[in-house]
Chains A and B, each alone.
Chain A
Amino acid sequence: QKEVEQNSGPLSVPEGAIASLNCTYSDRVSQSFFWYRQYSGKSPELIMSIYSNGDKEDGRFTAQLNKASQYVSLLIRDSQPSDSATYLCAVNTGGFKTIFGAGTRLFVKA
């Protein structure tokens, strides 16, 4: 079992819709959770961090964390074509160890 799992996609949504990206992790002691966006040929860019159970909103982005279910998600409201990218889920299990999922490719159709 991979430590951080994401559906590779592609996830295709129409412009203006809500995109829902999901991630599960295996290490129950994980404390910090991150979502990175990576455009093709570019480096990952941090877009959301979440550290406690519940929802955290930042603009059109909402991160959701459920530690009991070992599940973290990212919702993108009013999706735009510019949101088309690969989204990486990352989990810090303590100290230097941050594990990245393989990413979910998102396509937003105009």
Chain B
Amino acid sequence: DAGITQSPRHKVTETGTPVTLRCHQTENHRYMYWYRQDPGHGLRLIHYSYGVKDTDKGEVSDGYSVSRSKTEDFLLTLESATSSQTSVYFCATTLDTGTSGPRGNEQFFGPGTRLTVL
């Protein structure tokens, strides 16, 4: 258990409103990820972070931004939520993809946030 929490766990919002999801980890893992999970698509990477203030885009980054000001916190922001962003969002961490060998790619997931955009 990587000690990952997400907040809120559930949120209902309206189209056009900004939304911020928070991921907090207590394991001092360097790498953090945001995924969305939709039926038939599996987990798709939105953004990831490889250190404080170091972030990059994943395959479905449009409409999302992230920030990481501390090792333990990774925020996902929907600047103007749309109905297509209704999904379950998971945060994940890995120890280190470079120096820990292949085990550094083992991902540990938070409990998820179910977001509904009306």
Seen from chain A, the residues whose Cβ lies within 8 Å of a Cβ on chain B are: 4, 8, 31-32, 34, 42-46, 49, 51, 88, 90, 92, 95-98, 100-103
Measured CA separation A46–B105 after assembly (Å): 11
Q: Are A46 and B43 in contact (CB under 8 A)?
A: no
Asked if B90 contacts A96 (CB within 8 A), the reply is no
Query: What are the residues of chain A within 8 A of B45 when measuring CB–CB?
Result: 97-98
Distance of A46 Cα from B35 Cα, bound (Å): 16
Contacts of A43 in B (CB 8 A): 90, 109-112
B107 CB–A CB distance under 8 Å: yes
Q: Which residue of B lies closest to A32 (CB)?
A: B102
Q: Give bound CA distance, A44 to B42, whole Å.
A: 11
The answer to whether A49 and B97 touch (CB under 8 A), given A43-B110, A44-B109, is no
With a cutoff of 8 Å between Cβ atoms, the chain A residues found around residue B41 in the complex are 102
> A-B pairs with CB below 8 Å: how many?
53
- Asked if B43 contacts A51 (CB within 8 A), the reply is no
Please determine whether B102 and A92 come into contact, CB atoms closer than 8 angstroms.
Answer: yes
Interface contact B42-A100, CB-CB below 8 Å: yes
A2 → chain B closest CB, angstroms: 9
> What 6 A-B pairs are tightest by C-beta distance, nearest first?
A102-B42, A100-B43, A43-B109, A32-B102, A92-B105, A100-B42
Q: B106 at the A/B interface (Cβ < 8 Å)?
A: yes
Q: Which residues of A contact B105 (CB under 8 A)?
A: 32, 34, 92, 98
Residue ranges of B at the interface with A (Cβ–Cβ < 8 Å): 31, 33, 35, 40-45, 48, 50, 56, 90, 97-98, 102-103, 105-112
17 contacts between A and B (CB under 8 A): A34-B106, A43-B112, A44-B107, A46-B106, A46-B107, A88-B43, A92-B102, A92-B105, A95-B98, A96-B50, A96-B97, A98-B105, A100-B35, A100-B44, A101-B42, A102-B40, A103-B42
For the complex formed, measure the closest distance between the CB of B17 and the CB atoms of chain A, giving whole angstroms.
25
Question: Are B31 and A44 in touch, CB under 8 angstroms?
Answer: no
- A32 proximity list for chain B (CB < 8 A): 102, 105
Q: A43-B109, A46-B108 are in contact. Are A31 and B102 (CB under 8 A)?
A: yes
**In the docked arrangement, what's the CA distance between A45 and B48, Å?**
19
